[in-house]
Amino acid sequence: MIVGEQKPIAEIIKLLGDARKVLVAGCGTCVTVCFAGGEKEVGILASALRMMSKLEKHPMEVDEVTVQRQCEWEYIDPLKERLKEYDAVLSLACGIGVQAMNERFPDSITLPGLNTTFLGLPEEQGVWEERCQACGDCILGVTGGICPIARCSKQLLNGPCGGSQNGVCEIDPNVPCAWQLIWERAEKLGRIDNLLEIQPPKDWSRSRDGGPRKIVREDLRLGSETVETE
Ligand code: SF4
Ligand code: SF4
């Protein structure tokens, strides 16, 4: 899932500036699951803003809404008429949701209330860890399902480096060495041969380094008559 955390309230207030009527908009998918921007968090933040408005004598009317997914037109389109009432929307969706709102409703400003942080999973209650950097060329098949791009501090494709000591990474004793994990797993699965083959330099053009990415599936586009994938 996409993991995020709420911006500090002081930053949010600064972003809102002179706005007098604000809609706090949550998203019912990833950020609900990571307790950052779902209906509950929208309610808490809206209450905090109302309280601030009273304490600071800064009149601000704050309403709330949560849609199933802020990153898809079909879920945000119903907000179109309503947005005309507001000076600003404060989105608690990830950065994709915030951009979707601004792109779809160019006459309104949607501000980010979250810092979108990473693609990860809940390792335990209240703890989320990064697991993928969407590199565009997945190598989990070689590394036994452990991602060195997201989990090795140097993003090594052939590891570990000399900084791996007692199973932890040199950057922090609380960070497991991803390559130690990869080797242990390969050993357990009898797949060491996979790792003995030197991996060539990664083609980072399929990651962010190649510029903004786009996937086009002609077979899924409206009006398509062929069933082909690109
Ligand atoms: S190898 Fe790339 S796509 Fe696969 S999990 Fe790691 S970052 Fe994500
Ligand atoms: S110690 Fe391990 S995780 Fe840290 S940079 Fe070296 S190989 Fe990567």
Residue 198's pLDDT is: 96
- The confidence band for 189, taking pLDDT boundaries of 50, 70 and 90, is very high
pLDDT band at 229 (very low <50, low <70, confident <90, very high): very low
pLDDT 10s digits, 81-119:
999 999 999 999 999 999 999 999 999 999 999 999 999
Look at residue 228 and tell me whether its pLDDT is greater than 60. Answer: no
From the CB of 176, is ligand 2 less than 6 Å away?
no
In the three-class reduction of DSSP (H, G, I as helix; E, B as strand; rest coil), residue 97 is classed as: helix
Kindly tell me if the per-residue pLDDT of 201 is higher than 80.
yes
Which ligand 2 atom sits nearest the alpha carbon of residue 159?
Answer: 7
Q: Each residue of 33-55: pLDDT tens digit?
A: 999 999 999 999 999 999 999 99
Q: What is the dihedral of CA 194, 195, 196, 201, to 10 degrees?
A: 110
Ligand 1: which atom is nearest the Cα of residue 135? 2
Helices of type H across 34-177 = 39-55, 73-76, 80-83, 95-104, 148-151
Question: Which bound ligand lies closest to the C-alpha atom of 163?
Answer: 2
pLDDT at residue 64 is higher than 80: yes
Mean pLDDT of the chain: 95
pTM here?
0.92
CA of 161 to the centre of ligand 2 (A): 6
Please choose from 135, 155, 199, 204 the residue to mutate so as to test ligand 1's pocket, defined by most ligand atoms within 8 A of CB: 135
Which residue of 2, 129, 131, 139 sits with most ligand 1 atoms within 8 Å of its CB, as the best mutation to test the pocket?
139
The model's pLDDT over 138-172, given as tens digits with 9 standing for 90+, comes to: 999 999 999 999 999 999 999 999 999 999 999 99
Distance (Å) from CA 26 to ligand 1 centroid: 28
Q: In 56-133, which residue ranges form alpha helices assigned H by DSSP?
A: 73-76, 80-83, 95-104
What pLDDT was estimated at residue 72?
Answer: 98
Tell which atom from ligand 1 comes closest to the C-alpha of 131.
Answer: 5
Q: Which helix (H) or strand (E) holds 24?
A: strand 21-27
Which residue has its alpha carbon closest to ligand 2 atom 7? Answer: 160
E-state strands within 68-196: 88-91, 110-112, 114-124, 127-132, 168-169, 172-176
**Structural domains of the chain ordered from first start:** 2-118 (3.40.50), 137-201 (no CATH)
The predicted pLDDT at position 222 comes to 84
